[in-house]
C-alpha cells in the first residue's frame, strides 16, 4: 500500500469534506480517502503511487486547493 498526504485549504464544513472525498475517490488507483476538516489533511491510500497532479485536479474540481509543500 502507498499512502500520500496533502493539505487542502478552503474547507469549512462536513459538506466540504464529502465533496473532496467524493472527487478524490474517483481518481483511478485510489483505494481509500480520509479527510480531516480541522487540519485540512487529505490522506490518499492506493496500491501504487497516484500522480499528485491528479489528486490536485480532483481537489480543485471539488472547489478547493492543495497547499504547496514547503
Query: For the whole model, what pTM was predicted?
Result: 0.93
pLDDT tens by residue, 5-48 = 999 999 999 999 999 999 999 999 999 999 999 999 999 999 99
Apex CA 62: angle with CA 14 and CA 22, to 5°?
A: 65
CA–CA separation, 4 and 54 (whole Å): 12
Residue 61 has pLDDT above 60, yes or no: yes
CA–CA separation, 20 and 59 (whole Å): 6
pLDDT for residue 68: 79
pLDDT for residue 66: 97
CA–CA separation, 29 and 63 (whole Å): 22
Residue 70 has pLDDT above 60, yes or no: no
pLDDT for residue 69: 62
Kindly indicate whether the domain formed by 2-66 is annotated with CATH number 3.30.70.100: yes
Domain boundaries, the chain: 2-66
Instruction: Please count the helices (runs of H) and the strands (runs of E) in the chain.
Output: 2, 4
Amino acid at each position: 500500500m502507498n499512502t500520500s498526504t496533502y493539505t487542502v485549504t478552503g474547507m469549512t464544513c462536513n459538506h466540504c469534506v464529502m465533496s473532496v472525498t467524493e472527487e478524490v475517490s474517483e481518481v483511478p488507483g485510489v483505494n481509500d480517502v480520509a479527510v480531516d476538516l480541522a487540519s485540512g489533511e487529505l490522506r490518499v491510500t492506493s496500491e501504487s503511487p497516484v500522480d499528485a497532479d491528479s489528486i490536485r485536479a480532483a481537489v480543485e474540481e471539488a472547489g478547493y486547493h492543495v497547499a504547496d509543500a514547503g
